[in-house]
Amino acid sequence: MSNQTVVKITYDDVPLTCPMKGQEQWNSHPKIMLPIEETGKSKCPYCGAEYVLEGWDPNHSSH
């Protein structure tokens, strides 16, 4: 059984940082930027949280 967290985000949450504003563990590690626009997925190297960009479109204008 996995204890990893999967967080679904939208384009409104981009640029993505971990931890995100309002997350319960906002001070659990240094805030870092995570690249998610290129693949629609990203994983935090500190806490292992996985982020998935809902409605990911490789041609989205935020690139």
For the segment 46-51, the average pLDDT, to the nearest whole number, is: 93
- Domain total in the chain: 1
Q: Prior bond to 15 cis, omega within 30?
A: yes
Most confident segment among 13-17, 23-27, 56-60: 13-17
Examine residue 63 and state whether it is found in any structural domain, yes or no.
no
Examine residue 1 and state whether it is found in any structural domain, yes or no.
no
Examine residue 47 and state whether it is found in any structural domain, yes or no.
yes
Give the dihedral sign, CA 13/17/22/25: positive
Which structural domain range is residue 45 located in? 6-53
Examine residue 40 and state whether it is found in any structural domain, yes or no.
yes
pTM, entire model? 0.79
Cα(1)–Cα(47) distance, rounded to whole angstroms? 17
Examine residue 62 and state whether it is found in any structural domain, yes or no.
no
Query: pLDDT at position 48, please?
Result: 92
Q: What would the two tokens of residue 45 be?
A: 């190297």
Confidence of residue 63 (pLDDT cuts 50, 70, 90): very low
Examine residue 12 and state whether it is found in any structural domain, yes or no.
yes
34 with 51: CB under 8 angstroms?
yes
Cα(61)–Cα(51) distance, rounded to whole angstroms? 20
